[in-house]
Amino acid sequence: MTDFYELMNPENFKQNWNKDGFFIVRKLLDLSEVKELKFICDRILNRWIIQSKNPEETANLTNMAFLTEPRYFSEYPQQLTQLLHLISSDKILDILEYIFDFLLLFHNTQYFFNPANKTRMGDWHRDQQFDAKTEEIERLRMQNTVGIHVHIAFLPDNNLEYIPGSHCRWDSSEELNIRKGLNGKPKNSEDIPNSTRIYLDVGDAVFFNAWGIHRGNYIAEIPRRTFDIIYGTIPDWYTPPPTCFLQENIFAELTPRQQLFFQRFIDTYKNQWSSRLG
């Protein structure tokens, strides 16, 4: 079996990141890793749907977040350890540390799935636009912070579209009209120029800049299971919830490097968590 590190070309990753805003890592996970992690995430997804107020409506959403919430692991503590191992794996941290000359924090997890029976094209967006009241705030977030998605395909996935280079410039007038739904342009327009569709096979991952213009597509008839990890600098407009990170002894089976990675996350937000929890 080919070792993962034999397939890595970190200099190409860095060049593609700077130029396009994304790069693909083939076979980040092997098939046995995918099988185990998909089993865990599917169990969490099914529980999340069943326990929701409206399971039929929830099954037609496009993703769930916060897979590390303690409620999912009271009977399966080892599965939480497996997820934490993935989030802080050497494979991912080595790449992030090669590309950036500063440390990034963990932020959140998501799990993308195909809706039960309601197909729809996603809206074009930049992640930093959410809850930003002005264009100036959007631009400042784009300039002063970093957000990274790591999409890992548990099934073949071609649902992500991205506009290369949009992470390091502002929108053209046409892009802005579509992204904001101005002048009669739909936010989910098929006509946005220069977009590229990203193709992932099982175990592949795409690292992409969350501030670039992108969207997902949500096709009911095509199974989708894509695990997403978000990393970045500290967002001054949002505090991620603590999920499992206020529990004791959850790092016992992690390496010192992994423990340090998560401890930085805890130390960054523990005062805010304490004030909110009273």
pLDDT for the residue 1: 41
Distances (CA, A) of 211 to 69, 255, 256: 26, 31, 31
pLDDT for the residue 276: 76
**Helix spans in 116-166 (H):** 135-144
pLDDT tops 70 at residue 6: no
Q: Are strands 205-209 and 22-25 parallel, antiparallel or unpaired?
A: antiparallel
Average pLDDT over residues 108-114: 98
The residues spanned by each domain of the chain are 10-116+145-161+200-213+222-277
- In what side-by-side order are the strands of the sheet with 196-200? 120-121, 214-218, 157-162, 196-200
pLDDT tops 60 at residue 2: no
Which amino acid is located at 231 in the chain?
Y
- At residue 24, φ and ψ (nearest 5 deg) are -110, 135
pLDDT tops 90 at residue 134: yes
Classify domain 10-116+145-161+200-213+222-277 at the CATH superfamily level.
q2cbj1_9rhob like domain (2.60.120.620)
Distances (CA, A) of 75 to 3, 36, 79, 80, 163: 34, 17, 9, 10, 43
pTM value is 0.95
pLDDT band at residue 275 under the 50/70/90 scheme: confident
Give the integer Cα–Cα distance in Å for 253 and 112: 27
Average pLDDT over residues 103-112: 97
Which amino acid is located at 155 in the chain?
L
List of residues 6+ apart from 1 with CB closer than 8 A: 30
Average pLDDT over residues 156-165: 98
